[in-house]
Amino acid sequence: MKNLNELKEAIATLIAYNREEERDWMENVAYGKGPDYRRPEYNPALCPGHIYHTIRKLKEFIEQ
């Protein structure tokens, strides 16, 4: 990267490439829960390691 703007452009491209956050979160929560799994209400705090926590931070960075 030559400068901060190029880094921000690269991050913006990565963020735009990602799928829908809520759907990804639901899949992450449901993974391995078996046939009795009940769909919870969307709450990102229940999956602290979910990639969208990082993506939100990157969005804040490129908006500065």
pLDDT digits (tens, 9 = 90+) for 25-62: 777 777 756 555 566 677 777 777 777 788 888 888 99
pTM of the model: 0.56
Distances (CA, A) of 38 to 19, 34, 41, 64: 22, 10, 10, 39
pLDDT at res. 6: 92
Count of other CB atoms within 10 angstroms of residue 25:
19
pLDDT at res. 24: 75
Q: What is the chain's alpha carbon radius of gyration, rounded to the nearest angstrom?
A: 15
Higher pLDDT, residue 22 or 61: 61
Question: CA–CA separation, 30 vs 56, rounded Å?
Answer: 22
Higher pLDDT, residue 12 or 42: 12
The token pair that represents 12 in the structure block: 């913006």
